[in-house]
Structure 1
Amino acid sequence: MATLLRLLLLLIFADSFVNISSLGVGINYGQIANNLPSPSRVAYLLGSLNISRVKLYDADPNVLTAFANSNVEFVVGLGNEYLQKMTDPNQAQAWIQQHVQPYISQTKIKCITVGNEVLSGNDTQLMSFLLPAMQTVYGALSNLGLNKEIYVTTAHSTGILGNSFPPSAGAFQQDLAEYIQGILNFHAQTNSPFLINAYPFFAYKDDPGQIALSYVLFQPNPGMVDPITNLHYDNMLYAQIDSVYSAIKAMGHTNIQVKVSETGWPSKGDPNEVGATPENARLYNGNLLSRIEQNQGTPAKPSIPIDIFVFALFNENLKPGPMSERNYGLYYPDGTPVYNIGLQGYLPRMDYSASQKNVILFFSFLLPVAFLIYQFFTGAEFEGKAADLFISGGERF
């Protein structure tokens, strides 16, 4: 009996860890809300989900400290309001020394994003600051000996494309070429990726009569064939990514990787936000995770697995704009899932010391397995105090 129990435990753990560990997805951890759990509790949640890549929109010291000695790699952000200051080498170096250097011995910071969707706005002065700020931040990292450890980039909206169909004819807006050419040269020189925020939801919302819902949700559909390359596309996200690759190639670069810094689907929206439902959000993100688990590449880049950060970890109740902006989260702030896409995690009800972290996470995995084994051999149902063990000190979902 003991041998059989050990074998069953091994099989259960091996299966669960293979499935969860293969999830190569990143998550956007936005904090425009007044009801989110503390960063230390979020660290437990992401640890139990085995998500090891997190993108922030700032360099929140509370978050970076909470994830100390974890296996999580961070993207930290410099907001658009910092761009002009970051063109000054002294200020750029001071920012890194204050917001990055104190944490890197214990927390893995791998990237700094300088600005967000700057080129899709109307502020030409801000656009003119973007590349110099990126160059100066990179120079400051070099001065501190960190440029091999941390790369510098910026995130763009797909709105910078002047043409996106067919994907092989992708091209940037002509009036942005003067800014984008320099940025592409920077990426090529520093071996850093070109980031895009890609949302098929927006395209479907704006034209639901012409765009098939199945095409944007990764469901079975006829798809489309690029008439120039004869490549078949069965979803819009991959077409958007390849459009960006084509636009980059049209400007003379073929060695820059495109990564998706944001994509997601809202679970709720205003009456005019067609398609913003929990079921569509579940299908989009669930099907996307399945594609990521398969290490898929796009039709034009089949050997390069798509690299994606899902937006977002939590619903953020203070975000301005339409209702959808506050409803992109995979989880509610209390740690319950907005919809089920097969991820199981653990959010403790209170903060714990770092020394307790591994014990809590271990038992968050072990207890359900132990109960399943006991039920398997006894057929017993759990009630009262035995069942309470599942949620002692936290929520299971």
Structure 2
Amino acid sequence: MATGAALWLYLLCHVLLAVAAAAAAADDRGKSGICHGRVGGNLPPPATAAALLRQNGVTKARLFLPDPAVLQAFAAAGIDLTVGVPNENLTFLAASGPEGAARWLRSAVLAHAPAERLRCLAVGNEVLYGDTFYAPHLVPAMMNLHAALAAMGLEGRVKVSSAHSSSVLAASYPPSAGAFGPAALPVLRPMLRFLADTGAPFMLNTYPFISYVNDPANVPLAYALFGAGAAPVQDGALAYTNLFDATVDALVAALEKEGFGGVPVAVTETGWPTAGHPAATPQNAAAYNAEIVGRAARGVGTPRRPGVPVEVFLFDMYDEDGKPGAEFERHFGIFRADGSKAYDINFA
């Protein structure tokens, strides 16, 4: 009898732990993270940035590279990290096998932040956009890093994925017509198999603001901005009132066409600038980002995946005066360098 009771208690504890872990994971998906870009000349120290995030209820951050000082400060503040693996590291990681990937992981990341703070490795950023030199090395690098994590006992705890520009979609209108570009499929198909096998998300960088700027005749401002007056786009039985949902669902449709409809989606960059264009105002940035935060917290999902939370990272923590390109590229900051908010937004 004692043995049976002990076994029952053991099983009950494991069930409760599993339920608690699932609830924590669901709650975590409902919290928006913030990207911490570093291409600026007047950025506050990492410890100041980490404290500012915690003061505002933000517990997740995306780092674009494994900067030791940032890793240390953010980990010490209890912030969960999605850490970027720079494109220039992909050739080495692809060729060095799991052992070389493990050496890189230990020296570049785990020497500066404990494993319990590491949630995901974003291997490469927009590798399939523009210069595709690194494309053949992307999936082998991801596999080697995953194997290294598995050897360390971190398989399942730390996901491995790669962030893609929304231009990876050759078709996105209407959303149900979403499809990947043929040139990217030799890389994407084995990657999708890897993501499905490991439970990792497909990472998407998407900016409705840039879509509006590039094509204002066909992308109304209200549709890009979650505006109440946006005319809906009807796609069969589904109606879309904003470009964010439409883009995510175009990606979902593309995943389904390739036979990987179960792969989750995470939006690893989205945001709205405050200057550099007539539509780039603090008021519009507040409206867009507040809607993103609220939708993530409510777990509303998208028309094609209702009720399925989309993890989101807002870009960017600070303005980055060293960013190239159009003037608005330098004005995505949610916070000013002195720690004040560029506009009113609540992350709690």
Q: Which residue matches 2:319?
A: 315
Secondary structure, counterpart of 1:119 in structure 2: coil
Q: Tell me, yes or no, if the aligned pair for 2:232 and 2:239 is still in contact at 8 Å.
A: yes
Partner of 1:348: none
Question: Is the aligned partner of 1:210 residue 2:218?
Answer: yes
Q: Is the 8 A contact 2:30 2:311 kept in 1?
A: no
- 2:156 maps to a residue whose letter is K
Distance of 1:309 and 1:331 partners within structure 2: 15
* Aligned match of 1:260: 267
Tell me if 1:298 matches 2:302.
Answer: yes
| Normalised TM-score (structure 1) | 0.76
Output the CA distance in 1 between the equivalents of 2:328 and 2:83.
Answer: 24
Give the C-alpha shift of residue 145 in structure 1. Answer: 2.0
Give SS of 1:100's match.
helix
SS of corresponding position for 2:41:
coil
Query: 2: CA distance between counterparts of 1:333 and 1:23?
Result: 27
Match of 2:292 in 1: 288
Question: Which residue of structure 2 lines up, in the alignment, with residue 227 of structure 1?
Answer: 235
1:227/1:40 Cα in 2 relative to 1: closer, same or farther (>3 Å)? closer
Pairing of 1:353-392 with structure 2 (within 5 A) = none
Contact 2:230 2:242 (8 Å CA) reproduced: no
Q: 1:117 to 1:105 in 2, by over 3 A?
A: closer
In 2, Cα distance between the equivalents of 1:220 and 1:73? 34
Q: For 1:275-308, what per-residue CA distance to the aligned partner results, in whole angstroms no more than 9, with x for missing partners?
A: 2222221221122222223221100101201210
Structure showing greater Rg: 1
4+ residue segments displaced more than 4 Å:
none
The match for 2:100 is 91
Question: 1: CA distance between counterparts of 2:186 and 2:200?
Answer: 19
| Residues 69 and 332 of structure 1, relative CA distance in 2, 3 Å threshold | closer
User: CA 1:22–1:221 in 2, change beyond 3 Å: closer, same or farther?
Assistant: same
Counterpart pick for 2:68 among 57, 61, 78? 61
Q: 2:335 pairs with 322, 331, 334, which one?
A: 331
Q: Which residue of 2 aligns with 1:26?
A: 33
Matched, 1:119 2:115: no
Do 1:75 and 1:110's aligned partners in 2 also have CA atoms closer than 8 Å?
A: yes
Look up the SS of the partner of 1:113 in the other structure: strand
Residue of structure 2 equivalent to 1:72 = 79
Aligned-residue sequence identity (percent) comes to 36
Give SS of 1:67's match: helix
Report the Cα offset of residue 63 of structure 1: 1.6
Deviation at 1:72, TM superposition (A): 1.5
Alignment CA distance shift 1:325-1:189 (3 Å): same
Please give the alpha-carbon distance, in whole angstroms, between the structure 2 residues aligned to 1:340 and 1:110: 29
Aligned mates of 1:106, 1:222 — CA distance in 2: 44
TM-score, with length taken from structure 2: 0.87
Question: CA 1:68–1:129 in 2, change beyond 3 Å: closer, same or farther?
Answer: closer
Q: Give the residue type in structure 1 aligned to 2:204.
A: I
Q: Distance in 1 between matches of 2:197 and 2:296?
A: 28
Structure 1 residue 221: deviation in Å?
2.6
Deviates more, 1:68-77 or 1:235-244: 68-77
Rounded Cα–Cα distance in structure 2 between residues aligned with 1:177 and 1:71: 38
Task: Note if contact 2:240-2:246 (Cα within 8 Å) is conserved in structure 1.
Answer: yes
2:8 aligns with none
Structure 1 residues 204 and 141: CA distance shift in structure 2, 3 A:
same
**Residue 142 to residue 343, structure 1, CA distance change in 2 (3 Å):** closer
Letter in 2 for 1:96: L
Residue of structure 1 in register with 2:109 after alignment: 100
2:41 is aligned with what amino acid?
N
Which consecutive unaligned segments of at least 5 residues does structure 2 have?
Answer: 1-27
Partner SS for 1:114: strand
- The Cα offsets for residues 305-355 of structure 1, whole Å up to 9 and x where unpaired, read as 1210000111111111211111111012121222222469xxxxxxxxxxx
Whole-angstrom distance in 2 between the partners of 1:293 and 1:145? 31
Instruction: Classify the secondary structure of the residue corresponding to 2:128.
Output: helix
Instruction: State the SS of the aligned residue for 1:339.
Output: coil
After superposition, residues 241-260 of structure 1 pair within 5 angstroms as 241-260=248-267
Alignment match of 1:193 (pick from 192, 201, 204)? 201
How far the C-alpha of 1:159 sits from its partner, in A, is 0.3
Equivalent AA in structure 1 for residue 258 of structure 2: M
SS in 2 for 1:28: strand
Residue of structure 2 in register with 1:160 after alignment: 168
